[in-house]
């Protein structure tokens, strides 16, 4: 949800480090803005004072405010970009929030669940509140502890000690960053169930919701554990738990560069990320098998005996990642013969699910921070299940808390609408399915080798679709006035249809639904009227048990009722031409792998239509990239 940055450099100013705290913080916020863009704010410590600016709306509003009312040069600062939870997206509710007579500034990501009770307590002490946020309560609590409990004494921990005491009182999920005018060379941060990483520099240190907050300055990062506090100065990083006991973080090297988080000449991150997809799939496949075609998933450190005893798989995920899970279900059940359920993470633990030591939980999350999925994984672990995370973000919470991880290597996904992560997740789930089939002897080695060879051809096939994107782009642009678009698919085409609809909803803000084509006659066909656009994902006509003719019948059913049909079909499928206003061909590929291709035209369509409507495709309204609240 919100994006957070903190920085401390040597106090000698810009000349020494080449940048000020504000330079670093604003650059970090620019990269983290995908996490929320309801408001943005910064605070710096200079000349024994806190100076802050904050503005509702996107970061550009804050930049204009800073132009009009510049901040003093400083080497200690914090910055925040907000996705609103408590209180609307106003200037007043924007972070930082101040306390201790304006000497303390605090920013927050998450939700303080006991804020109402704490607020009553603070109001009784005479504290006045200016916003509707839970964050201001945390700021007031911290200020009260610093001033009234510790007497403003900075000789014995000061702000760090105050943060420990405050965190002992806070319930919920939070990352907090605070600065105090009496400790000008320090940023103190705390995390519980919400992301925070440290960046290690030379004579400067950084904090960020994720590494993009400081990727321009260092690739050395430190993961923090749950319930930890970190105090950074220009030359030190000290980690403790919420009771002051020393703790350790885990240092790692960030293996992507700042350029990969830039637009690379494309007008939007989303367009760039759609074009990254051949690489995202290729990288996710890289190094997963030996020369004999045997899959070797080194990261999957679960005892093979345990994996052999699995009698049920439950995939947990939300949004696009859940559609990746639905695609995976078809492949895993087919290849491994293990019953596989796919459950939206936020529904999972509330239905008393049947989970035991023979259940394998596969969570899928691009960010690795989705709170609904994290909570579902924790619940499953408590029931004794083994947990594997498919994740795109190194060092994030869900893989850290899982028994094993299979990283997708899609590179940073900045646009809020997921594209390349989706294809990489499907690819990783296929690898997991094939690995289980190999381990359990469900498939001959030669069969696995053949499927891997088919997967290896996918990047080039995606590239062919991208090289011919003009026709689908034009269609998207021409349909900017559409009020509703329906998507039909069967078998693996069904989750593809739902993903196509989700892209259109979140980017173009129009009604879009994905249906299983066979379900049409059970109700949804009543929606069809003259001119209703309907996308149909048609399965390959090749092979045994093809659903092709059934889907062609479904096309005829909607056309008979006036629908305008737009068909995604396999090259060489001439039969569909007679039933479609528009046909987009994708290269031949085995049915189970087809989602890796069929999704791409739907992404391009949604992008083109939303762009034609003049919408910001990277930052759609009301959304945030990483949903770290339940
Ligand atoms: O980071 P995650 O994969 O856990 O995120 C899950 C969903 O929030 C995410 O896929 C969301 O649906 C996207 N906006 C879809 O484009």
Mean pLDDT (whole number) for 465-490: 96
Give 510 or 37, the one with higher predicted confidence: 510
Longest dimension (CA), the chain: 81
pLDDT of residue 336: 95
Contact 535, 487 (CB under 8 A): yes
Tell me which residue has its CA closest to atom 8 in ligand 1.
Answer: 319
**Among the listed residues 201, 177, 199, 200, the one whose alpha carbon sits nearest the alpha carbon of residue 190:** 177
Instruction: Pick the atom of ligand 1 nearest to 627's CA.
Output: 8
Residue 111: band (very low, low, confident or very high) from pLDDT cuts 50, 70, 90: confident
If one counts every other C-beta atom within 10 angstroms of the C-beta of residue 220, the result is 18
Of the residues 366, 602, 618, 625, which should be mutated to test ligand 1's pocket, given the most ligand atoms within 8 Å of the CB?
A: 366
Contact 569, 594 (CB under 8 A): no
- Alpha helices for 265-318 (secondary structure H): 269-275, 277-285, 304-308
Tell me which residue has its CA closest to atom 4 in ligand 1.
Answer: 365
pLDDT at 15 over 60: no
Mean pLDDT (whole number) for 373-381: 97
The predicted-structure confidence for 511-520, as pLDDT tens digits, reads as follows 999 999 999 8
Quote the ligand 1 centre to 82 CA distance (angstroms): 18
pLDDT of residue 14: 58
Residue 291: band (very low, low, confident or very high) from pLDDT cuts 50, 70, 90: confident
Helix (H, G, I), strand (E, B) or coil at 405: strand
Quote the ligand 1 centre to 495 CA distance (angstroms): 14
Quote the ligand 1 centre to 416 CA distance (angstroms): 8
pLDDT of residue 500: 98
Of the residues 270, 371, 372, 418, which should be mutated to test ligand 1's pocket, given the most ligand atoms within 8 Å of the CB?
A: 418
If one counts every other C-beta atom within 10 angstroms of the C-beta of residue 298, the result is 8
Of the residues 83, 319, 328, which should be mutated to test ligand 1's pocket, given the most ligand atoms within 8 Å of the CB?
A: 319
Instruction: Pick the atom of ligand 1 nearest to 503's CA.
Output: 16
Cα angle value 372/374/376 (rounded, 5°): 70
pLDDT of residue 412: 86
2 given a catalytic annotation: yes
Tell me which residue has its CA closest to atom 14 in ligand 1.
Answer: 417
Residue 454: band (very low, low, confident or very high) from pLDDT cuts 50, 70, 90: very high
pLDDT of residue 164: 97
pLDDT of residue 296: 87
Quote the ligand 1 centre to 172 CA distance (angstroms): 22
pLDDT of residue 255: 78
Mean pLDDT (whole number) for 248-253: 91
Mean pLDDT over the full length of the chain: 93
Q: Which residues pair with 52 in a beta bridge?
A: 43
Instruction: Pick the atom of ligand 1 nearest to 417's CA.
Output: 16
Structure tokens at 447: 């069969």
Mean pLDDT (whole number) for 19-45: 93
Residue 13: band (very low, low, confident or very high) from pLDDT cuts 50, 70, 90: low
pLDDT at 603 over 60: yes
Query: Ligand 1 pocket: which residues have CB below 6 Å?
Result: 318-321, 365-367, 370, 373, 416-418, 506, 623, 626-627
The predicted-structure confidence for 82-102, as pLDDT tens digits, reads as follows 988 888 889 999 999 999 999
H or E element in which residue 250 lies: strand 250-253
Give 11 or 172, the one with higher predicted confidence: 172
Quote the ligand 1 centre to 388 CA distance (angstroms): 18
Query: Which residue is listed with tokens 């240190």?
Result: 205
Structure tokens at 130: 């200016």
pLDDT of residue 88: 87
pLDDT of residue 361: 98
**Active-site residue, from 2, 167, 318, 336:** 2
How would you classify the pairing of strands 3-9 and 76-82? antiparallel
Residue 49: band (very low, low, confident or very high) from pLDDT cuts 50, 70, 90: very high
**Active-site residue, from 54, 272, 386, 625:** 625
- Give the Cα separation of 287 and 264 in Å (integer): 26
Mean pLDDT (whole number) for 478-497: 97
Of the residues 35, 327, 370, 412, which should be mutated to test ligand 1's pocket, given the most ligand atoms within 8 Å of the CB?
A: 370
Quote the ligand 1 centre to 625 CA distance (angstroms): 7
Tell me which residue has its CA closest to atom 9 in ligand 1.
Answer: 319
Omega prior to 602 cis, within 30 of 0: no
Contact 163, 188 (CB under 8 A): yes
Share of the chain above pLDDT 90, in %: 82
Instruction: Pick the atom of ligand 1 nearest to 422's CA.
Output: 10
Would the pTM of this model clear 0.85, i.e. be above it? no
If one counts every other C-beta atom within 10 angstroms of the C-beta of residue 574, the result is 10
Quote the ligand 1 centre to 509 CA distance (angstroms): 17
Instruction: Pick the atom of ligand 1 nearest to 319's CA.
Output: 12
Contact 133, 87 (CB under 8 A): yes
Instruction: Pick the atom of ligand 1 nearest to 373's CA.
Output: 4
Give 154 or 507, the one with higher predicted confidence: 507
pLDDT at 545 over 70: no
Mean pLDDT (whole number) for 6-29: 84
Quote the ligand 1 centre to 322 CA distance (angstroms): 8
Quote the ligand 1 centre to 81 CA distance (angstroms): 19
The predicted-structure confidence for 424-438, as pLDDT tens digits, reads as follows 999 999 999 999 999
Query: Which residue is listed with tokens 């299983």?
Result: 516
Cα angle value 21/102/230 (rounded, 5°): 50
- Count the alpha carbons within 13 Å of 553 in the hemisphere toward its beta carbon: 9
119 given a catalytic annotation: no
Q: Which residues pair with 593 in a beta bridge?
A: none
What's the CA dihedral at 616, 496, 317, 416 to 10 degrees? -10
Structure tokens at 3: 């994006």
Of the residues 210, 318, 610, 628, which should be mutated to test ligand 1's pocket, given the most ligand atoms within 8 Å of the CB?
A: 318
Residues 6+ apart with CB under 8 A from 18: none
pLDDT at 539 over 90: yes
pLDDT at 17 over 80: no
The predicted-structure confidence for 140-156, as pLDDT tens digits, reads as follows 999 999 999 999 988 87
State the burial class of residue 441 (Cβ atoms within 10 Å of its Cβ: 0-12, 13-18, 19+).
exposed
pLDDT of residue 98: 97
How would you classify the pairing of strands 386-391 and 340-344? unpaired
pLDDT of residue 394: 81
Q: Which domains does the chain have, with CATH numbers?
A: 3-256 (3.60.20.10), 267-456 (3.40.50.10490), 467-630 (3.40.50.10490)
pLDDT of residue 600: 98
Tell me which residue has its CA closest to atom 16 in ligand 1.
Answer: 417
Mean pLDDT (whole number) for 103-128: 95
Residue 254: band (very low, low, confident or very high) from pLDDT cuts 50, 70, 90: confident
pLDDT of residue 198: 97
Sign of CA pseudo-dihedral 137, 143, 149, 155: positive
pLDDT at 318 over 70: yes
Contact 106, 73 (CB under 8 A): no
Residue 363: band (very low, low, confident or very high) from pLDDT cuts 50, 70, 90: very high
Contact 318, 345 (CB under 8 A): yes
Cα–Cα distances (Å) from 470 to 59, 177, 274, 415, 598, in that order, read 33, 47, 14, 21, 16
């Amino acid at each position: 949800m919100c994006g957070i940055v903190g920085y401390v450099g040597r106090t000698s100013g810009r000349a020494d480090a080449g940048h000020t705290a504000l330079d670093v913080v604003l650059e970090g916020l620019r990269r983290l803005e995908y996490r929320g863009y309801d408001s943005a704010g910064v605070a710096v410590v200079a000349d024994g004072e806190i100076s802050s600016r904050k503005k509702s709306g996107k970061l550009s509003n804050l930049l204009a405010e800073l132009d009009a009312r510049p901040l003093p040069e400083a080497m200690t600062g914090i910055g925040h970009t907000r996705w609103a939870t408590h209180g609307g997206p106003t200037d007043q509710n924007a972070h930082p929030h101040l306390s201790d007579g304006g000497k303390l500034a605090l920013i927050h990501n998450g939700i303080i669940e006991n804020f109402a009770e704490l607020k009553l307590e603070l109001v009784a002490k005479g504290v006045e509140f200016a916003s509707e946020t839970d964050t201001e309560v945390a700021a007031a609590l911290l200020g009260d502890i610093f001033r009234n409990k510790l007497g403003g004494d900075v000789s014995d921990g000061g702000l760090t000690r105050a943060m420990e005491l405050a965190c002992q009182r806070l319930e919920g999920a939070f990352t907090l960053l605070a600065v105090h005018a009496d400790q000008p060379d320090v940023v103190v941060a705390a995390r519980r169930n919400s992301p925070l990483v440290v960046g290690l520099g030379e004579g400067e240190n950084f904090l960020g919701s994720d590494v993009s907050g400081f990727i321009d300055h260092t690739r050395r990062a430190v993961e923090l554990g749950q319930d930890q506090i970190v105090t950074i100065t220009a030359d030190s990083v000290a980690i403790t738990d919420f009771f002051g006991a020393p703790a350790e973080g885990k240092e790692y090297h960030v293996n992507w560069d700042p350029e990969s988080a830039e637009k690379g000449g494309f007008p939007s991150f989303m367009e760039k990320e759609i074009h990254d997809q051949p690489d995202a799939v290729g990288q996710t496949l890289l190094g997963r098998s030996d020369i004999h075609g045997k899959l070797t998933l080194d990261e999957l450190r679960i005892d093979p005996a345990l994996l052999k005893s699995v009698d049920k798989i439950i995939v947990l995920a939300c949004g696009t990642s859940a559609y990746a899970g639905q695609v995976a279900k078809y492949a895993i059940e087919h290849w491994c013969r293990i019953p596989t359920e796919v459950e939206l993470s936020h529904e999972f633990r509330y239905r008393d699910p049947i989970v035991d030591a023979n259940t394998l939980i596969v969570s899928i999350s691009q960010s690795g921070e989705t709170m609904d999925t994290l909570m579902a994984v924790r619940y499953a672990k408590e029931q004794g299940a083994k947990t594997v995370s498919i994740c795109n973000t190194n060092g994030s919470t869900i893989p850290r808390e899982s028994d094993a991880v299979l990283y997708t290597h899609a590179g940073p996904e900045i646009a809020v609408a997921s594209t390349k992560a989706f294809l990489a997740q499907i690819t990783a789930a296929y690898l997991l399915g094939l690995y289980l089939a190999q381990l359990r002897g469900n498939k001959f080695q030669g069969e696995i080798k053949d499927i891997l060879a088919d997967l290896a051809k996918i990047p080039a096939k995606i590239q062919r679709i991208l090289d011919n994107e003009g026709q689908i782009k034009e269609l998207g642009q021409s349909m900017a006035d559409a009020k509703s678009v329906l998507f039909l698919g069967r078998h693996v085409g069904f989750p593809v249809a739902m993903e196509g609809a989700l892209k259109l909803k979140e980017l173009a803000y129009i009604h879009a639904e994905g249906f299983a084509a066979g379900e049409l006659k059970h109700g949804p066909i009543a929606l069809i009227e003259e001119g209703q656009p309907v996308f149909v994902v048609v399965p390959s006509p090749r092979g045994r048990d093809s659903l092709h003719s059934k889907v062609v019948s479904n096309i005829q059913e909607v056309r008979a009722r006036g629908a305008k049909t737009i068909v995604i079909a396999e090259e060489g499928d001439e039969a569909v031409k007679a039933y479609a206003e528009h046909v987009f061909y994708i290269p031949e590929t085995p049915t189970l792998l087809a989602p890796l291709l069929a999704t791409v035209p739907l992404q391009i369509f949604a992008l083109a239509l939303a762009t034609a409507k003049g919408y910001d495709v990277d930052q759609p309204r009301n959304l945030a990239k990483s949903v770290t609240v339940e």
